Amino acid sequence: MLLLSLSLLASLHLLFSNEGRLVRSVHYDPNEVTAHKKLGSSSYYYYYPGVPKSDGHPESLQRSGTSWQTGCSVAPESRFDCGRDRLLSQEECEERGCCYAPLPGSAGPPWCFYPAPYPGYTMGRLTPSERGQTATLTRASPSYLPKDVSTLSLEVMNETPGCFHVVLKDPSSQRYEVPLPAGRPQTEAFQDQDALYTTEYQHDPFGFVVRRKSSGRVLLNTTVAPLLFADQYLQLSTALASSLVSGLGEHYTPLVLDLNWTSLTLWNRDMAPHADANLYGSHPFYIVQEEDGLAHGVFLLNSNAIEVTLQPTPALTWVSTGGILDLYIFLGPDPQSVIRQYLQIIGYPMMPPYWSLGFHLCRWGYATTNATRMVAQRMHSANLPMDVQWNDLDYADKRRVFTFDPLRFGDLPEMVQEFHKEGMKYILILDPGISSTSPPGTYPPFEDGVKRDVFLKNATGQILIGKVWPGPTAFPDFTNPEAWQWWEDCIRGFYSKVPVDGLWIDMNEPSSFVQGSVEGCPDSELEKPPYTPRVVGGQLNSGTICMSAQQKLSSHYNLHNLYGLTEAYATHSALMRIRGKRPFVLSRSSFPGIGRFSGVWTGDVRSDWEQLRFSIPAVLQFSLFGVPLVGADICGFGGNTTEELCVRWMQLGAFYPFMRNHNDKPNAPQEPYVFGQKAQAAMRSALNLRYSLLPFLYTLFHHAHTSADTVARPLFMEFPTDPNCRTIDRQFLWGSSLLISPVLEQGAVELSAYVPAGTWYQLHNGQPFPSSGQYVQLPAPLETINVHVREGHIIPQQEPALTTAASRRNSFFLTVALSTGGWAWGDLFWDDGDSLMTFETQNYCYVNFTAEQSQITSIPVNLNGALANLLLGGLRVFGVPSSPLYVLANGEKVRNFTYQADTKVLTVTSLALPMSETFTVQWVL
């Protein structure tokens, strides 16, 4: 099924091309192989309380021999479902050799479940291979699944000391495999004793165990339930090391997932966020917090429809409808190291342009250029910072992309030039669906696309026609290199008239308003596979195109979840070549690796308090997935907001890495300037605070781009040994320094916030709070968002302005949060904010700041001229124990300083120290 030629695989590999290759370490230890031989000579099993030992012969567990004494006395929470593919009667269950034990009144545990053990694959001996070790797995008799694969190839690879890689595939048939990006960091060969893990294999039935070497803790144990591998059904279960599991997006869930018999489907779908639904993105990666502050992660590299079942054992079961089982296990040992190891596989995120960290404003319903102009004018007239004006599909002629309406948007090119003169940027929406019904000779994108054969085909080889906003549409095949060039040509032609600064790629799951196509879909196993995960609409082609649609690389059945990723790549590459500057792309659909090309927003959220709250775990999950440039539609997209909700959302949104207010057509307006003066003042304050912090935020993005650090960070990542931080998702951090505690409840004027151990200072006034790791009540009137600075950190800031073009020219100031020992550290990454590969070509400035022994010193590490003519205008030092006698700047006495005795804050103003030079500010006590 679903063959993939090597040449086509190579063509998609171009998509992920970069310099360098990961060198996989190969380890061959004859003694280790001997040990496997010994294990292979007599099978062994893992047993758990309540699971009696068997005689080692799985054949004895066929239906005739199954008994409660030999394997069915399993605790309900430890049952693994034997009827996951369909509902079974008792007779059908027992025909599979499984146990049947109803639990009336219980909605969770399965009634039909596997005995322990259950017949499966038998593992041959491990032998050295080019990349690691291989073994053959065979089944003595077929499983209950149609088109069962009786022989599998197992390959295990010690990628790095912290990464173990397992691949299970059919050696006799080339199945679809997701290509990984080239250019991953190279690793040196390492000794086995340096590995953070040990592995063990159960030979009959096959399973494997991965342990943390330092503690012996079992992180993966696949012997708990059988491995199944059929043409369109692949199943692998594992025990979990703890119940603290995060990831497996994109879903409307808390940060830590519910393991009480929950099911999560990974299948990209145009679906407004709500519970128990598959949403826009698919990320088959999870991270587990272990009990002692350590962590590990698991990534299943598979793009087919996947259902993940979580159960309170704790355990997890993967079920995929195709491809292969390609598992990476990341040993950390701390949570941030897990994410870094994951990103070494899928790619580090791109560096965003500086202006994209400013405030963006959009709605569907800005019906003319004049209406659009008025929005920007009213924002700046109200002294509300804004960098980027957006248009939804209103701009397009008959809703066709790469056009603009000659009446309502006839002067769109002039409007964009006006924005540029004012230091602003402009972005518009670009859907993938290309109108197929324009009169001949009137719509080049479609006609040229037909000539160049860039559109998806149906099962009979004709262009597949779906239906989106312009009516009947064709869909580009972004796995086809010719489509990349065609897409670039379309963007280039439009850009020559309308010089956009970025592109918003929406509807790219892909979404279609008819199921499959305007002609329906064939009645085939691709459209109706033997097993369909729980998806909105009940079928894989619900809300999208036919699974049998043909793409250059494979069928859409295999490639659906990659559609947004491949479009993001094509769009990013096109913008880079056309503009010659750092691209900005915002995508709705996502898959692992999209952070290399694009930011993401969380889709069509509703204007209500619950969705405000759930936006925090949504943003934090994308941080775990390697997509730091992420945000939710501020004030909500669906339904009418309220003034209070919009103020609180603007305050929270000021700390989304990507900050955009976006609204749907029929709703009441929610631009900041439409509200009362008190609300406007609160929003202005939040915007000014964000703009003042942009140098710090930009530096965090630099570390994300170069070191795979997270930007918006869950507390458990920074404080992994603090049990109170494990499930917190109503607060979050920026980097390791800022703690954000937003109001998330209607009518609240105070909130309960957790403050980890250490001294924290209120950002706005330096009020210290020494914490032992405790919850506190914080005052939070409407105009306030609580932000605390962690002791020992220095935050580079800049005087805000109405645009980043203006604020980047303003004076810097430092906020210095001294530790109890009187020291602090910070850094600043600075370049022109827009050029390509500035870090890679050393075209940037990087400055370290240190505070100790009552003085602050700047140390420029790398300089390129970007900081020329920029000055340090002042600083605030939190935690100065007493009033200084005097202050020196580069040895000269400073006149303008004040000391606040009650908060112990020293403020120094009227400095003019060049940021590109070493400077010292000293206070003498």
Question: How many Å apart are CA 125 and CA 204, to the nearest integer?
Answer: 12
Question: How many Å apart are CA 877 and CA 534, to the nearest integer?
Answer: 55
Using a 10 angstrom Cβ sphere, with 0-12 exposed, 13-18 middle and 19 or more buried, the burial of residue 743 is buried
The two tokens of residue 243 are 């119940």
The two tokens of residue 177 are 């495999």
Question: How many Å apart are CA 327 and CA 168, to the nearest integer?
Answer: 9
Question: How many Å apart are CA 94 and CA 82, to the nearest integer?
Answer: 10
Question: How many Å apart are CA 330 and CA 286, to the nearest integer?
Answer: 10
Question: How many Å apart are CA 101 and CA 112, to the nearest integer?
Answer: 7
| Residue 548: half-sphere exposure toward Cβ, Cα within 13 Å | 19
Beta bridge partners of 599: 586
The two tokens of residue 425 are 């940027």
Contact partners, residue 696, CB within 8 Å, separation at least 6: 734, 735, 737, 738, 795, 796, 797, 828
- Residue 307 among the catalytic residues: no
Nearest to 500 by CA among 432, 558, 574: 574
Q: Compute how many other C-beta atoms are within 10 angstroms of the C-beta atom of residue 772.
A: 8
Q: Are 332 and 811 in contact (CB under 8 A)?
A: no
Nearest to 560 by CA among 518, 603, 593, 526: 526
Q: Compute how many other C-beta atoms are within 10 angstroms of the C-beta atom of residue 34.
A: 11
Q: Are 882 and 906 in contact (CB under 8 A)?
A: no
| Alpha helix (H) residue ranges in 14-123 | 30-41, 90-95
Three-state DSSP state, 273: coil
Contact partners, residue 710, CB within 8 Å, separation at least 6: 336, 339, 623, 624, 628, 704, 717, 735
Task: Give the Å distances, CA to CA, from 470 to 363, 397, 443.
Answer: 19, 9, 12
Question: How many Å apart are CA 574 and CA 578, to the nearest integer?
Answer: 6
Write down the catalytic residue from 506, 567, 604, 729. Answer: 506
Write down the catalytic residue from 394, 509, 827, 831. Answer: 509
Question: How many Å apart are CA 788 and CA 791, to the nearest integer?
Answer: 9
Q: Are 594 and 587 in contact (CB under 8 A)?
A: yes
Question: How many Å apart are CA 115 and CA 917, to the nearest integer?
Answer: 71
- Residue 431 among the catalytic residues: no
Which runs of E-coded beta strand occur in 281-376?
A: 285-289, 295-300, 306-311, 315-320, 325-330, 359-363
Q: Is 276 left (phi over 0), alpha (psi -120 to 50) or beta?
A: left
Q: Which residue has the tokens 């909605």?
A: 107
Nearest to 211 by CA among 329, 123, 291, 340: 329
Nearest to 130 by CA among 23, 232, 48, 222: 23
| Alpha helix (H) residue ranges in 256-348 | 335-346
Contact partners, residue 53, CB within 8 Å, separation at least 6: 45, 47
Contact partners, residue 52, CB within 8 Å, separation at least 6: 69, 70, 71, 73
Catalytic residues: 506, 509
